[in-house]
Amino acid sequence: MQRSKSMADALDLSCFVRRSADGAASMDFALEGVDCAACIDDIEGGLKPEPGVVSARLNVASRRLSVAWRPEVTGAEKIAARLAALGYRAHPFDLHRLEAEDVAQTKWLIRCLAVASFSMMNVMLLSVSVWSGAVTDIMPETRDFFHWLSALLVMPAAAYAGQPFFRSALAGLRARKLNMDVPISLGVCLAIGMSLYETLHSAEHAYFDSAIMLLVFLLLGRTLDQMMRVKMRAAAANIAALKGDFANRVEANGDVRIVPVAALACGDTVLVRPGDRVPADAEIVAGASDVDESVITGETLRRPAAQGDRVWAGSLNGAGALTLRVTAAGAATLIDEVKRLVEQASEAKSRYRRLADRAAAIYSPMVHLAALLTIAGWLLVGASVHFALITAISVLIITCPCALALAVPAVQIVATGSLFRSGVYLNASDAIERIAEINHVVFDKTGTLTLPQPQVANLGEVDADLRAIAGRLALSSRHPLAATLACALGAQHPMDDAREIAGAGVEATVDGQTARLGAASFCGVADARESAADVSLIFMRVGARTATFEVRQALREDARAVVDALRARGVTVSILSGDRPEAVAPVALALGVADWRGGVKPDEKIAAIAALAAAGRKTLMIGDGLNDAPALAGAHASMSPIDAVDIARAKADALFLGERLQPVLIAFDVSRKARALMRQNLWLAVVYNAFAVPLAVAGYVTPLIAAAAMSGSSILVTLNALRARAPSPVAAPDDGESLVLRAAVRPVPGAAS
């Protein structure tokens, strides 16, 4: 580890500096020691006085600091030195290095937690023996022996397991600031030191168990937070992989050459074979196929694509070969634009500071001031140094931020478990607090208000014998629409002699007659609806008999009930969709939502959410597609279905499971209740200190009573947190209402999300 740091220090940072057209310089730094939203003010505020610095923006989730400066005034080395003075080691941002550091950090925290837990379990066994013996007939020699065993177990364990807090506290002190880890470290070290002193003097009480137990609780929260960050960052990093690594470029002489995707330029011609991903944003110059854009839009229905149509990098080609002319490559593709929007939105969102962070900013200085004044006061009145120190330590123990540290996490644990049982999985440690604050909900349409998988809407209109043949034909095809039809019909056995014609359909011989399933022209069916965009049609012919299957997106069963329930709670609702306005209108009408827009691009979704924020609205964005990811990252809070695309799941604060929207309402109700309990717990910690600290300062509280009072406050906070459970679920619509809702959205197309 030390070797890598020295190598980083020896790097020439000038080779990582970017130059803009106006002459300004900029660079992305990766910072060590960033662990909470409070670091934003320390770092960005600490860089502002630096001459020449134009801007500094920190993304806490990725520990990425983007700094712009005037090169004639300052440089990257001076900025790195300033960051070191603030207590943060900086090196050039490297995603691979950051991922490796994250893995190492997670393993280290888990080892610290394991060591602390092992020590705590054994020390608690010894402590129970001492406590029970104190009221019976334990011999002083036996008690001292148990205290020495506790010391041997706790001291090396605390020295190792407490490093995450000790290092952070030392870095804060070097930067002349007090963070939450300073009183924690002082409390642990002084409790162990005092316990060792008392053990040396054969005192009745020692407090090794309190010190190691505090470390276990705090390490558990820090480890879970670190694992959550790693998971989110790993999923978000996969977005670039959607374009693939290589492309088939058509050279001027007609030869096809395999080249890296990064080597493509605007105007290049590429060949995309069936089943390949589109390597760059492009226009089709030859060929026809159906394109799966689910990673871009969240839409599960494939879109027909022919000469002159635009396709996007990351889309999956269907059955036909396509020749494309590249219109945007490298970092200029839609995927990369979405990635930039996501990063910008994430940086803005990371400025949210949790309740515990805000409380810690006030609490930490007060704790140290109280202890110092206690020592000074007792020395001034003539007390002994030993008595003054013991009294100050009692103050530190009784004010040790156990209750404050548990005030928010305890509620989060209970609320998170309750949400998990209700089908809601949290992605962010502060999701509950932000969801509780929302007063406006923005829904995407396809895959969010509607089910992600299309449904066959008119099965009852087709004769049973034709349905049976259609199911077996559909099962013989690899087309996604055929798979939907086969599933809806419950087909079990494909046709033995079925033949699939790429881009047309599948045919077989049934009782001496030719049976076909696929496009209208392939089946010889004349149907005016074939060109309609509000439904995907599958045609069928068996001899002279024909049938048509309508594949549509179906509205989620309880969508109207949930929207009405949100409005009843004072939350306004709107719809922002990338689908055509004429496709969004029926859904908005069925749900009674007057504020809706269709044809909205990713940057327009962010602008709309920013406008809502400027108007004082705290927005919950709910979406599932790649085009929703920037809005999910930029909204005050966000949720996605569990089957959303990877980047949407990564940027959402919470995921919900199932085909109903009820978990969204449950998340809102539980979060509001949990936020109220968090505030109650913080006030309980404040009230506890208001009564306990004066008694400790006055010398009426012994260290044992202080430890008991500290534990009592933690127990009280934990018991209050147990009230954070999910309320009764919203009533689901009956079958009649559900049918009405489905009928109301029959014209909904399966187009872009």
Q: Which are the catalytic amino acids?
A: 444
d(CA 633, CA 705): 47
d(CA 640, CA 444): 10
To which H or E segment does residue 623 belong?
none
Contact predicate 656/639, CB 8 Å:
yes
From 670, 669, 633, 666, select the one nearest 650 (Cα to Cα).
Answer: 633
DSSP notation for 136-179: TT--HHHHHHHHHHHHHHHHHHHHHHTHHHHHHHHHHHHTT---
CB atoms within 10 A of CB 361: 16
Cβ partners under 8 Å of residue 185, min gap 6: 162, 165, 166, 169
From 216, 213, 681, select the one nearest 689 (Cα to Cα).
Answer: 681
Half-sphere CA count of 448, side-chain side, radius 13 A: 36
d(CA 107, CA 450): 41
The first and second tokens of residue 681, run together, are: 């717990």
The length of the chain in residues reads 753
Surface-to-core class of residue 63, CB atoms within 10 Å of its CB (0-12 exposed, 13-18 middle, 19+ buried): buried
d(CA 374, CA 352): 36
Tell me how many helices (H) and strands (E) the chain has: 25, 27
The first and second tokens of residue 477, run together, are: 């095809």
Surface-to-core class of residue 667, CB atoms within 10 Å of its CB (0-12 exposed, 13-18 middle, 19+ buried): buried
* Angle, helix 181-200 to helix 355-380, in steps of 10 degrees: 40
**In angstroms, how far is the first alpha carbon of the chain from the final one?**
47
| 3-class SS string, 14-71 | HHHCEECCCCCEEEEEEEECCCCCHHHHHHHHHHCCCCCEEEEEEECCCCEEEEEECC
